[in-house]
Structure 1
Amino acid sequence: MRVIELARAGGVTAETVRHYTREGLLQPRRNPHNGYQLFETESLGRLRFIDCLRSLGVSLPEIKQILSWADQDTVEFIEPVPLTSQRQRLHLRAQEFHIIAQWLDSMNQDTMTESPSLKELIQSLGTDD
């Protein structure tokens, strides 16, 4: 896949793919005929993983460490695993995404009267329940 194809499939911009490549998070090979960066199909899963972690506020250095463990198929516990200190916040974000997804699902069904209004949904995201 070329940069633009990977970007479209991953739901990000081509510049995002290029940035992650410069940061060493994605490793393309070069087409010897034209110099284009080419990505294997496995790069899509890696891109989606990176994008998911970024949307949760994980830093690029932390992601780089996590990906290095994935590349080695091991986790080094010499230092605290990135994300451990952020576990609570990650669970909260996951719950928020789940609530929004449920609300969106309810819009496609006849259960709109049972689901919270958009205003109620937004207000519920501001509580510590």
Structure 2
Amino acid sequence: MKVAELAKSLGTTADTVRYYSRLGLLKPAKSVNGYKSYSNKEVSRLKFILSARNLGFSVADIKEIINESEDGKSACPLVRSLIKERLEETEKQFQAMLALRGKMSSALSRWEEMEDKAPTANMVCHLIENFEQIKKA
């Protein structure tokens, strides 16, 4: 199977297939005419990579999981450990986004009541520049 065929069959792009090939996660065979050909094993490998990426695993995580598997070891304990780490990271990011959303909502409600002002030599936009001061008051 060629790059474009593989990409189409898995609903991704040829650039994505090439990217993972450049990283060494996919190992296509080269034919005499220079085309890269992907075996069923590589198709399965790309399915795995795309699924792992959809679950939030990084490329480094995926390399580590694949290496574990290629060493003949079960990657399952590693996968569980990594997903716990990614879940903790995601929770922190989620909480940070909730806090940001709160700030943005607060800013918008305050700013809707404030007048517009022209910039000065020391000010670009008083809404942003005074937000922290107003918030503390």
Q: Which runs of 4+ in 1 moved over 6 A?
A: none
| Aligned residue number for residue 45 of structure 1 | 44
- Taking the aligned partners of 1:40 and 1:85, their CA distance within structure 2 comes to 28
Kept in 2, the 8 Å contact 1:3–1:38? The answer is yes
Provide TM-score, normalisation by structure 1. Answer: 0.59
| Aligned residue number for residue 121 of structure 1 | none
Aligned length: 87
Cα 1:17/1:83, change in 2 over 3 Å = farther
Q: Counterparts in 2 of 1:11-30, with a 5 A limit?
A: 11-30=11-30
- Taking the aligned partners of 1:60 and 1:25, their CA distance within structure 2 comes to 9
Kept in 1, the 8 Å contact 2:56–2:86? The answer is no
Cα 1:69/1:51, change in 2 over 3 Å = same
Q: Give per-residue Cα distances to partners, 1:95-124, cap 9 Å, x unaligned.
A: xxxxxxxxxxxxxxxxxxxxxxxxxxxxxx
Question: What are the ranges of 5 or more consecutive residues in structure 2 without an aligned counterpart?
Answer: 88-137
Displacement of 1:56 in angstroms is: 1.3
Cα 1:15/1:46, change in 2 over 3 Å = same
Q: Give per-residue Cα distances to partners, 1:8-66, cap 9 Å, x unaligned.
A: 1111100000000011110001002x111111012111111100110111100110111
SS at match of 1:27: coil
Pair member with larger Rg: 2
Provide TM-score, normalisation by structure 2. Answer: 0.56
Identity %: 40
- Taking the aligned partners of 1:5 and 1:44, their CA distance within structure 2 comes to 10
- Taking the aligned partners of 2:70 and 2:79, their CA distance within structure 1 comes to 16
- Per residue, is there more helix in 1 or in 2? 2
Kept in 1, the 8 Å contact 2:27–2:38? The answer is yes
Cα 1:18/1:86, change in 2 over 3 Å = same
Displacement of 1:70 in angstroms is: 2.0
| Aligned residue number for residue 86 of structure 1 | 83
Whether 1:71 aligns to 2:70 is yes
Kept in 1, the 8 Å contact 2:57–2:86? The answer is no
Kept in 2, the 8 Å contact 1:58–1:83? The answer is no
